[in-house]
């Protein structure tokens, strides 16, 4: 599936629910499904600190695709982390850099990515793109 298709699927899944509590229940379930990050990466080097919740993000690059694993100490945050992983993990650096993340807005979770919310998610998106740029540069210019 393309990044666009994944985003459209998520939008469709969320559109089944009008009630906020149902949307949050879905996020909670998504959070539970998130592949567990290796505890050895839950360290300061991979921590994205927000003042409301924390996010850990670890990238792995096989020369073609970047695989992200991540976690959060808050479950709703972890649910949104899971969505971001669904969309942006196992993609090439080029795809990640050029992606427009429109699904967040469409499913009504934009407030969770506002800079004032400070829950680590906005920084997480930024960090995913930064990793992608770094790997991209490495490909082009070597070490």
Partner 1 sequence: MKDIAEIRADFPILNRKVYDKPLVYFDNGATTQKPQCVLDAVDEVYKSYNGNIHRGVHYLSDMSSEAYEKAREKVRSFINAEKREEIVFTSGTTGSINGIAFSFGERYIKPGDEIILSRLEHHANIVPWQMMCERKGAVLRVIPINNKGEIILEEYYKLLSTKTRLVSVTQASNALGTVLPVSEIIDAAHSANVPVLIDGAQGIQHGIVDVKEMDSDFYVFSGHKIYGPNGIGILYGKEKWLSELPPFQGGGDMVDKVTFEKTTYNDLPFKFEAGTMNYPAAIGLASALDYVLNIGRENIGSREKELLSYATNRLSAINGVKIYGTSDRKISTISFQIKNIHQYDTGMILDKMGIAVRTGTHCAQPVMDSYGIDGTVRASLCFYNTKEEIDTLADGIEKVKSMFA
52 binds partner 1 (CB under 8 A): yes
By CB under 8 A, name the one of 69, 119, 123, 127 that touches partner 1: 119
- Residue with Cβ nearer partner 1 (15 or 52): 52
**51: annotated active-site residue:** yes
Q: Centre a 10 Å sphere on the Cβ of residue 26 and count the other Cβ atoms it contains.
A: 18
Give Cβ neighbours of residue 86 (< 8 Å, ≥ 6 apart).
Answer: 6, 10
> What backbone phi and psi angles, to 5 degrees, belong to 133?
-65, -40
Give the x/- contact pattern for partner 1 in 67-86, rule: CB under 8 A: ------xxxxx---------
- Residue with Cβ nearer partner 1 (76 or 122): 76
Mapped onto helix, strand or coil, the DSSP state of residue 53 is coil
CB 86 within 8 A of CB 2: no
Q: Which residues from 6-45 bind partner 1, rule CB under 8 A? A: 20-21, 24-25, 28
């Amino acid at each position: 599936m393309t990044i666009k298709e994944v985003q459209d699927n998520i939008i469709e899944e969320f559109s089944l629910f009008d009630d906020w509590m149902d949307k949050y229940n879905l996020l909670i379930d998504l959070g539970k499904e998130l592949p567990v990050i290796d505890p050895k990466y839950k360290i300061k080097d991979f921590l994205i600190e927000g003042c409301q919740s924390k996010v850990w993000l670890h990238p792995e690059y096989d020369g073609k695709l970047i695989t992200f694993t991540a976690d959060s100490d808050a479950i709703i945050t972890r649910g949104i982390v899971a969505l971001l992983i669904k969309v942006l993990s196992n993609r090439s650096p080029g795809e990640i850099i050029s992606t427009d993340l429109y699904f967040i807005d469409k499913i009504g979770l934009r407030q969770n990515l506002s800079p004032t919310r400070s829950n680590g998610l906005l920084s997480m998106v930024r960090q995913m793109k930064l990793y992608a740029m770094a790997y991209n540069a490495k490909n082009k210019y070597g070490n």
